[in-house]
Structures are given as C-alpha cells and as structure tokens.
A and B are shown apart, each in its own frame.
Chain A
Amino acid sequence: AQSVTQPDIHITVSEGASLELRCNYSYGATPYLFWYVQSPGQGRQLLLKYFSGDTLVQGIKGFEAEFKRSQSSFNLRKPSVHWSDAAEYFCAVGGLNDYKLSFGAGTTVTVRA
C-alpha cells in the first residue's frame, strides 16, 4: 500500500532563515512525488514534482526538493523564507499507472518576524 508520512505537524521559522520539510513515502513501484502548498482560503497549489532524472528538482517560489530513493524521502527546502511562505504544505506520491495520489497529513509553517 502506498502512504506518505510528514513527521512534522507544525514548524515555526524566522523570516530569512532556511526551511526544510520532511516527507517519507512508501510505494511499491517507481514513485512520482509532489509537493503542494495551501494558503488560507485558497486551493492547494503545486510547488514542484519529481518523475525521473535529476533528483534535485526546482519549483516555484524558490523551493526545491531532493529525491533520495535509498531513504524513501522527498524533503522540501527553501534557503530563505518569506512571511508569505506561511502556509500548509502537503507531500504526495503516485505512480505512472496509478489513478490516485496519496497525500501526507501536511505540515503547517509559521513564519515569525
């Protein structure tokens, strides 16, 4: 069965500091991995995705994520956070012939001045 674990429910970070959100997945075939962000009152938006190739993927808003097959991880990073990065972040896994994505429970990021 496929599943995603986001170990951190809530993270608080200072503006300008770096951010790393953890994601571990379980998937029986080649995984396709996604990070979404959801700001209050808005639908969740795709930040980046990994299908194949370079294991370090760049996304929107200055985010990047690294796929590590040996660790079954797909952690999201940003070198310097902005107050507008305060949101909820979701990691998801799917597969080429899979009709659905499995999401983690999300990590809420608070940015303090």
Chain B
Amino acid sequence: DAMVIQNPRYQVTQFGKPVTLSCSQTLNHNVMYWYQQKSSQAPKLLFHYYDKDFNNEADTPDNFQSRRPNTSFCFLDIRSPGLGDAAMYLCATSSARGANEQFFGPGTRLTVL
C-alpha cells in the first residue's frame, strides 16, 4: 500500500541535543509538509517542499530546518531542542499545492528532557 512513513514513532532527546525526524513516502507526491502539534492545539505548519522548492512559514523558528534529498524522503532537523519543542510532529504529502487532500504519516512524538 502506498503510504507515508515516519521514523521514529517516539523520540526522546535532551535539552539542546540535535535531533532528526524522518519521513518517507511511496506516493510519489510533489509536496511534503511538516506540522507541529501540541496537546489540545491545532497542527501548526512549519514548512513545506514543492519538489525541491523549500517554503518556510514566517513564524517557524530558525531552530527548525528541513532537508529533502529526493522525492521520497524529507527530514526535520531540530538544532537545539528546547522544552517547548516537545510535541507531535506530523509529516504529510500531497500531489499538488492548493486545497488538495493531504496524506499523513502517524507522527513522531518528541519528548525533550
């Protein structure tokens, strides 16, 4: 089955220790998104890729970076995690930008100690 896979499902890191979250997709979609969702809040879009074109949201902290080495993979790098970065991180894909259906991975739960 075509799908969106996120690894790991649970990640524990220490305050200030860099961490990388991984997302891969078998849908061959052009667009990949990273969202941050904190408890009882709506998911917040951090950035998205349209093919290799990187698009950062204006309010995404510099602490968050992303890489997309090829169509299938996208990484979220948190350079110096703070306690406030503990959240669920969701990866999603879409065949095109605009109001299209987005396909989500199960998420990575990040804990910062």
Which parts of A23-54 form the interface with B (CB within 8 Å)? Answer: 32, 34, 36, 38, 41-46, 49, 51
Contact between chains at B101 and A97 (CB < 8 Å): no
Count how many chain A residues have C-beta atoms less than 8 Å from C-beta atoms of the other chain: 28
Count chain B residues whose beta carbon lies closer than 8 angstroms to a beta carbon of A: 24
Chain B residues touching A, majority SS = loop
A100 contacts which of B41, B45, B105 (Cβ < 8 Å)?
A: B45
Which residues from A are CB-within-8-Å of B40? 9, 105
* A49 close to B43 (CB less than 8 A): no
Check if A94 sits within 8 Å of B98, measured CB to CB. Answer: yes
B9 nearest in chain A by CB position: A41
Please determine whether B99 and A32 come into contact, CB atoms closer than 8 angstroms. yes
Chain A residues whose CB sits within 8 angstroms of the CB of B43 once the complex forms: 90, 103
Task: Count A-B contacts at CB 8 Å.
Answer: 52
CB-CB nearest in chain A for B50: A99
Known: A42-B106, A43-B104, A44-B104. Is A101-B99 also a contact (CB below 8 A)?
yes
How far in angstroms is the closest Cβ of chain B from A4? 7
Q: Which residue of A lies closest to B6 (CB)?
A: A43
Kindly supply a per-residue 1/0 record for chain A positions 45-82, scoring 1 wherever the CB is within 8 Å of any chain B CB and 0 otherwise: 11001010000000000000000000000000000000
Assess the A43–B103 pair: CB atoms within 8 A: yes
| A92 nearest CB across to chain B (Å) | 8
Other-chain contact of B99, A43, A51, A103 (Cβ < 8 Å):
A51
Complex CA–CA separation, A50 to B41 (angstroms): 24
Most chain B beta-carbon contacts within 10 A, residue among A44, A94, A100, A106: A100
Q: Are A49 and B42 in contact (CB under 8 A)?
A: no
Q: Which residues of A contact B102 (CB under 8 A)?
A: 46, 101
Is A43 a contact partner of B107 (Cβ separation < 8 A)?
Answer: yes
Some 17 contacts from A to B, beta carbons below 8 A apart, are: A4-B42, A9-B40, A34-B101, A41-B106, A43-B3, A43-B104, A43-B106, A44-B104, A49-B101, A94-B99, A96-B99, A98-B98, A99-B31, A99-B55, A101-B102, A103-B35, A105-B40
